[in-house]
Chain A
Amino acid sequence: MSALVSLVAVAALALLAVVAVASDDLRLVFGAVIPGIAFAVFLVGIVARVIRWARAPVPFRIPTTAGQQRSLPWINNSELDNPSGTPGVLGRMLLEVLFFRSLFRNTKVELLTDKEKVNYIGTKYLWAAAMAFHWSMLIVVLRHFRFFVEPIPRFVEIIQAVDGFFQVGVPVIYATSAVLVASLGYLLLRRLVDAKVKYISLPSDYFALYLLLGIALSGILMRHLEKVDIVNVKAAIAGWASFQLVRPEGVGVMYFIHVFLVSVLLVYFPFSKLLHAPGVFLSPTRNLANNNRAKRHVNPWNPPIIGHTYAEWEEEFHDKLVASGYVLDKE
């Protein structure tokens, strides 16, 4: 049900873009106005959210330790899974952000009820799909810089060359296009097929996947079937950059679908689970060193709470303390 609702929602959005192509005014709105607004919402939204997170204090240092602590000098500590200081934290964060270290640990439980046996089997599919998706997404976004920047930066050309290494098709089919669609497909299929993941999935989980798939597929179709005029596209995009409304000319329906779905994604991003991207940097169980006992951590709002004091305790149990021969502070 959740999957269907989201599919309909994304299809309706794509259809909206199709309808828009018919009218000159709407071409301007969908080709220039909406993308501009969307980009602004994205930037402001993300910055506002990160500021809101960053402004919330971190009252306690609560790292999740996933390796040996640093204690006695002759015991090897595991700096990357249980950092004792800033270099270790940086390492841990890099592994987490670039290589999804925690997800790499994933296991799958296997319950052999007849043998009364529980097994935990390492499983890397989710990790591999997540890595494939995020890295290819990054490369695809970087590739798009050739539309935004003139002259095309060197690194974009290199990425393009490597990505198109196999030289299949005209224009060249990029490896990341295929990987992007395949990994999204896997992540979607997993949600639909794995009973546990299906159960926990919300409409918004499917929505994000359909949206990304829609963006990827419309982009690929535009490049390989519709074959838009790059010069016109660049002109339109140059318009965004110079805050001028330029109606895109010589581009087809796929272009509008692609640009509109990207706009939806940009607007959706700061208000959804896609916030995991900036969020991972601020997770207090990962970005703090486990040096709690070595270095004092200050809570800015530490409440002035006092427990049961010794004097109160001694007074309450005075007679019993005397009878048991305790030495008292107050005789």
Chain B
Amino acid sequence: MAEKSPQELIQIDLDPPRRDWRNPSVDFESRRGTWSYPAAAKNIEYMGYANPREWSPTDDDWQLPDNWQQIIHEGFKERLAKYRSLRVFMDTCVRCGACADKCHFFIGSGDPKNMPVLRSELLRSIYRNDFTLAGKLLGGFAGGRKLTKEVLKEWFYYFFQCTECRRCSVYCPYGIDTADVTMMARELMMLVGLNINWICEPVANCQRTGNHLGIQPHTFKDNIEFLCEELEDSHGIKIEPVINKKGAEVLFIIPSADYFADPGTYTFVGYLMLFKQIGLDYTMSAYASEGGNFGLFTSHDTIKKLNYKIYHEAKRLGVKWILGGECGHMWRVMHQYMDTMNGPADFLEVPRSPLTGTVFENARATKMVHICEFTADLIRNKKIKLDKSRNDKYRVTFHDSCNPARALGLFEEPRYILKNVCNHFYEMPENTIREHTFCCAGGAGLGNDENMEMRLRGGLPRGNALKHVRDAHGVNLMSCICAIDRATLPPLAEYWSPGVEISGVHELVANALVMDGEPERTVNLRGEPLKEEKEGTTDV
């Protein structure tokens, strides 16, 4: 990928060719860089999924089971009976084209099958052929297609080229949610053994160790203690992290990337500094050591399986309620699936901030509060002291992560926090933020290195909006509330908008947080001087 410059990559023709899209053909060999490696047999075996084997999409023979068509047909039928969403989404599309240019992968690649309407048509054409009267009678005229190996290969290519960001769903007059369609297609493919490793390995890890990265409990503890020791060395602030403490008031659930790699670790330390300052009685868990849930990119059953540990651990530890860190798809699961799948959480109490007394009515049933809701409430009630000037070297913008945006509508809380912890805040153009926000192009399990060209292509809309505020306002930091973003946005920014760093919101909170008895701060959490030397800075 490195060989193509941004100037070259942006030469995209959004006008599709004239030929009929219904003739499937994907040449995986010539499209390296735009697809993900298949799941290793050991991960499929560990999870008990179908058809474990070593294979490559470039193979002619994908080693499918002999009756693969029947398996998919039966699986499709079962899901049509179980999900109204699937039925309605299969029947109602009128191909108006409103969604066509809303997908970041389409904008960045010009590949017409990345228009959400056609992504869904890949499945819908089979639905018509197999399950509708019109399709059975009229075939191609009614838009039906037979499920051939070529169609299946196309499914693998394009349904693992959707990040389930739901942007198209905002514009669809019938609310057709391509994320839901993609989830169904991935479930169907799974039945015959088509999975990608960057999803399946985290899933297998998570099932075994409790987190996607496969961090075992001793390493979990070591990592966290190491981060706290580093903080003590650089800032003279001593934190005793709390792990697996029974009877704590709050169970704190985080995405594992936050205690594993930069820049997520700064945010992680930020959480702990905040908790220390306010004296929150919390505990983390080495068993429920992952809030994220790659089951969301696998199957509904897997979501439930991996999510099981959250309430299970809350019950075991005897906490009152659950607080969740900054993570995107984790919050889609916690918000839209957890209670339905693994609830009711009647052994917990309705979340109430011990500092402000605020009862989080919006979390009355699920009993889980987003840390941005929690912190915004602290700031509003003046329970923490903040020195904004400590973030003065940053000119900050905020990237709305797909799931908090379009599955929760968590827009104001992080903005309120940011405006209270830094002096320079700038919004990106309005059609690229809030419900219109663009994906990092690495979500839903696609943030792997072999898929880098597609990530950078899909990252064009976000990268371009970022470049706009970088040039217009000198923005040098993009904050976000998603662990996948914190991993995928740095290469995106480096490519499309060099000079902009990525952070979590609570990293900036912790920078500004005035703590009792702390030595004077000279550096921020990244160990950089708080005040930038005048030389080399440009005031735009």
Contacts and interface: CB of A to CB of B under 8 A. Distances in A.
Given A118-B461, A307-B309, 13 more contacts: A59-B83, A71-B362, A75-B413, A100-B173, A105-B436, A197-B97, A275-B92, A279-B174, A285-B177, A293-B362, A296-B344, A305-B301, A329-B316
B187 interface: no
A5 interface: yes
Contact of A66 (B82, B170, B218, B464): B170
Contacts of A53: 84, 87-88, 91
A294 B117 CA distance: 33
Identify the 9 closest CB pairs spanning chains A and B, nearest first. A307-B308, A279-B92, A69-B409, A65-B409, A120-B431, A285-B175, A286-B175, A293-B366, A283-B175
A54 B307 CA distance: 29
B133 A116 contact: no
Interface string B1-29: 00000110011101111101100000000
Nearest to A1: B20
B276 interface: no
A103 B339 contact: no
Contacts of A69: 362, 408-411
A244 interface: no
B336 A65 contact: no
Contacts of A299: 340-341
A141 interface: no
A42 B477 CA distance: 58
A59 B337 CA distance: 9
Given A64-B169, A201-B95, A307-B207, A326 B244 contact: yes
A106 B210 CA distance: 42
Contacts, number: 332
Contacts of B521: none
A116 B10 contact: yes
Given A204-B142, A285-B175, A327-B244, A273 B412 contact: no
Nearest to A115: B10
Contacts of B510: none
Nearest to B302: A305
Nearest to B11: A113
Contacts of A108: 101
Contact of B107 (A1, A118, A327): A118
B374 to A, nearest CB: 10
B308 A305 contact: yes
Interface of A is mostly: loop
A168 interface: no
Interface stretch (A29-37, A158-166, A313-321): A313-321
Given A72-B377, A200-B95, A113 B210 contact: no
Contacts of A329: 316
Interface of B: 6-7, 10-12, 14-18, 20-21, 80-89, 91-98, 100-102, 107, 112, 115, 117-118, 121, 132-134, 140-143, 166, 169-177, 180, 207-210, 216-218, 221-222, 243-244, 286-287, 300-301, 304-309, 312-313, 316, 334-337, 339-341, 343-344, 358, 360-366, 368, 373, 376-377, 380, 405-413, 416, 429, 431-432, 435-436, 460-461, 464-465, 467-468
Given A103-B173, A199-B21, A202-B95, A310 B287 contact: yes
Contact of B363 (A294, A305, A309, A316): A294
A329 B170 CA distance: 47
A111 interface: yes
A200 B115 contact: yes
A140 to B, nearest CB: 20
29 contacts: A57-B82, A59-B300, A60-B300, A60-B337, A65-B435, A71-B373, A72-B377, A75-B412, A75-B416, A106-B171, A107-B436, A111-B10, A116-B467, A122-B431, A203-B141, A204-B141, A276-B92, A276-B94, A282-B84, A284-B84, A284-B88, A285-B177, A293-B368, A308-B207, A310-B309, A314-B287, A321-B286, A325-B221, A326-B221
A292 B84 CA distance: 18
Contacts of A202: 95, 142-143
Contacts of B217: 317, 320-321, 324, 326
B95 A293 contact: no
A96 interface: yes
B140 to A, nearest CB: 8
B301 to A, nearest CB: 6
A283 B305 contact: no
B377 A194 contact: no
Contact of A303 (B210, B287, B304): B304
A60 B336 CA distance: 7
A78 interface: yes
Contacts of B380: 72, 74
Interface of A: 1, 5, 49, 52-54, 56-62, 64-72, 74-78, 81-82, 84, 96, 100, 102-103, 105-109, 111, 113, 116-118, 120, 122, 126, 130, 194-197, 199-205, 207, 271-273, 275-276, 279-280, 282-286, 290-299, 301-303, 305-310, 313-314, 316-317, 320-321, 323-327, 329
Contact of A295 (B82, B84, B208, B365): B365
Contacts of A117: 464, 468
A96 B173 contact: yes
A57 B85 CA distance: 9
Contact of B94 (A49, A205, A305): A205
Contact of A65 (B7, B96, B406): B406
A309 B465 CA distance: 44
A244 B34 CA distance: 64
Nearest to B345: A296
Contact of B409 (A78, A107, A282, A325): A78
A194 B97 contact: yes
A320 B143 CA distance: 58
A244 to B, nearest CB: 30
Contacts of B20: 1
Contacts of A66: 170, 406, 409, 435
Nearest to B430: A120
B107 A116 contact: no
A205 B95 contact: yes
Contact of B464 (A102, A116, A314): A116
Contacts of A301: 82
Contacts of A195: 15-16
Given A70-B362, A200-B21, A276-B92, A103 B98 contact: yes
B89 to A, nearest CB: 8
A96 to B, nearest CB: 7
B143 A102 contact: no
Nearest to B368: A293
Nearest to B143: A202
Nearest to A2: B20
A68 B376 contact: no
A205 B328 CA distance: 37
Contacts of B10: 111, 113, 116
A102 B171 contact: yes
